Amino acid sequence: MDAFKLWFVTGLEHITDLNGYDHLLFVSLLVLTYPFHHWGRLLGLITAFTIGHSFSLALSSLHLIQPPQNLIELLIAFSILAVAIYHLVHFKKAKNERAIFIYISVLIFGFIHGMGFSFLLNGMLGTEKSIVLPLLYFNLGIEVGQILIIVGVLIFSLILAFVFKIPFPYYKLGLVLIIGLVALEMSIQRLINLL
């Protein structure tokens, strides 16, 4: 049970850590993709992200892929910036015709984020004989953290929509602009670090 607690809490803290806010920003953008009444589509996006990051986390933990950390950190920042730009370009348009494109993009971005999660996990695994249970527990912690972020963003959105009466497209635009600016600054800094 101690092993479960160690790996689960590590995964939970990793995704909810405000110092590693890049994952918080990306998941927030996913939640802002559709209004509340399209919760099924939102669930599909979160599932695509989960599949992507779980797959790459497993591959990286098994040492089947080992990309440079600076490159992955830059790609994570670019993924946030790309989704923010997409939202800004299509902020009032229906996205039904682009559903497949959106899910495939989120799956790929999830794959990139999973490699970001793996750096901490691989550093902690050390000489563990079996990585199956630590990987499972760590991933469960990430999933619970992700759910907490989703619930937090949804509650914040509900407050904006129903208490302050701000229409979804307008508060979405404001939040996406803020996230996009943060992602732009993050991308520039990480690009400089890579070079």
Q: What does the pLDDT read at residue 55?
A: 94
Looking at every residue in the chain, the average pLDDT score rounds to: 89
Q: What does the pLDDT read at residue 95?
A: 53
CA 10 to CA 141: how far, in whole Å?
7
Contacts (Cβ under 8 Å, ≥6 apart) of 67: 115
CB 21 within 8 A of CB 80: no
Decide: helix, strand or coil at residue 128.
coil
Tokens 């992700």 appear where?
Answer: 146
**Residue 9 pLDDT greater than 90, yes or no:** yes
Identity of the residue numbered 62: L
Give the helix/strand (H/E) hosting 175.
helix 168-194
Decide: helix, strand or coil at residue 107.
helix
What is the torsion angle, in degrees rounded to the nearest 10, for the CA atoms of residue 104, residue 106, residue 109 and residue 111? -70
Q: What does the pLDDT read at residue 96?
A: 55
Tens-place pLDDT, residues 25-71: 999 999 998 888 888 888 889 999 999 999 999 899 888 998 999 99
Of the given ranges (17-21, 66-70, 182-186), which has the lowest mean pLDDT?
A: 17-21
Q: What does the pLDDT read at residue 94?
A: 52
Structural domain span for residue 130: 2-194
Q: What does the pLDDT read at residue 73?
A: 96
Tens-place pLDDT, residues 109-150: 999 999 998 888 888 877 667 888 888 999 999 999 999 999
pLDDT band at 8; cut points 50, 70, 90: very high
Domain count, the chain: 1
Tokens 């991933």 appear where?
Answer: 139
The alpha carbons of the chain give a radius of gyration, in whole angstroms, of: 17
CA 60 to CA 71: how far, in whole Å?
14
CB 11 within 8 A of CB 141: yes
Tokens 């990585």 appear where?
Answer: 131
**Residue 1 pLDDT greater than 70, yes or no:** no
